[in-house]
Amino acid sequence: MGFLSSRRKRARLAPELDDQELGRLLKSLRATTRTGTIATTDLCTAQMTRLLEQDQGDWDRQAHRLGVLADFLSASHLPKSWAAREPRNPTALVLHAWAQVEQARTHDHGGDTSDAADSCLRAAELAPDDPTPWVALLKVARWERWRQPQVFGVWNEVLTRDRWNREAYMTMLAYLTPEEGGSRLQVLDFVDALVARVPANAPCVATELTAQVFQYHAILGRGGYEALVARTHWSQGMAAQALDRVVHTWSQPGFLRHARTLADLNLLAYALMAGDRRAEARAVFEAVGGNVTAWPWQTGGDPLTEYEQAQRRATVGQ
């Protein structure tokens, strides 16, 4: 997706991003899941099956759609019911496991993930070439704080099937942060190894910039003088190099084509504004077209408010 000029649209939280078919499915699910009847379950699973069957072999699109559905349905009975009724359907099993993780995350350890790993492993047996069960298992491993040898074993299973899987890289990056299961040095090693090999337009290309945003947030979290001068993070060393490289490459017309391109452009707009690079941010906001992701904007408060204020500052140059 190039940074093409487009008519400014009102900002909205859009978990589906620019996936219009997924957006229509979310609207339909929102309207039909309220009754909770068996007929409703049949209708919803049929609708999801029709959409997800389009993703056969497109692992990037499949992970995007399953991730959005898992988050959307995390408080619903639907994923569990679907998996129980179709225990040999790998898509149903993966959605059930992924939704369990999302529910637990949303409720801060309030969800039950006891059978999530088993669901992923059964799905992997049923669809041995599909990386998505292993992606979901990696999310389970991160949430349950598995030991690193186990996590890296799951990670390798993903890479065997899909070398540049965006969801897997983002999950692994978060697991390796000091706040979770790793250290700053491990994050640096992970990112360095990726940058040395990854194609410039691969689905996981935003991993490096995401790591820099994580570090920026860690600086803000320390408070005091460090937080006051946190903006300088983006003008120094690896952060500045990463931002320069991304602005140069992502701006090429039609360059980014993966399913979560708009999420990556949200990230770029956020980083540019954090670094006070407003002129460069304007074109990115145009490309985003008002399709806002909760993260990273929610770090400063309400994501829509933060996005709109940042866009206004970039536009008026104040």
Q: pLDDT (tens digit, 9 = 90+) per residue, 155-174?
A: 999 999 999 999 999 999 99
Rounded Cα distance between 145 and 293, Å, is 26
Q: Provide the mean pLDDT of the chain.
A: 92
> Which H/E stretch holds residue 292?
strand 291-292
* pLDDT of res. 35: 55
* pLDDT of res. 6: 45
* pLDDT of res. 110: 56
Q: How many CB atoms lie within 10 A of CB 178?
A: 14
Q: pLDDT (tens digit, 9 = 90+) per residue, 233-290?
A: 999 999 999 999 999 899 777 899 999 999 999 999 999 999 999 999 999 999 999 9
Q: pLDDT (tens digit, 9 = 90+) per residue, 180-210?
A: 989 999 999 999 999 999 999 999 999 999 9
Nearest to 269 by CA among 305, 228, 314: 314
Spatial contact of 54 and 66, defined as CB atoms under 8 Å apart:
no
**CB-based contacts of 57-62 (< 8 A; 24+ apart in sequence):** 59/130, 59/131, 59/132, 59/161, 59/162, 59/165, 60/162, 60/165, 60/166, 60/203, 60/258, 60/259, 60/260, 61/19, 61/259, 62/132
Question: Facing residues of 292 across strands?
Answer: 13
* pLDDT of res. 1: 45
pLDDT band at 5 (very low <50, low <70, confident <90, very high): very low
* pLDDT of res. 10: 84
* pLDDT of res. 109: 59
Q: Which domains does the chain have, with CATH numbers?
A: 1-15+176-318 (no CATH), 18-162 (1.25.40)
**pTM for this entry:** 0.93
* pLDDT of res. 234: 96
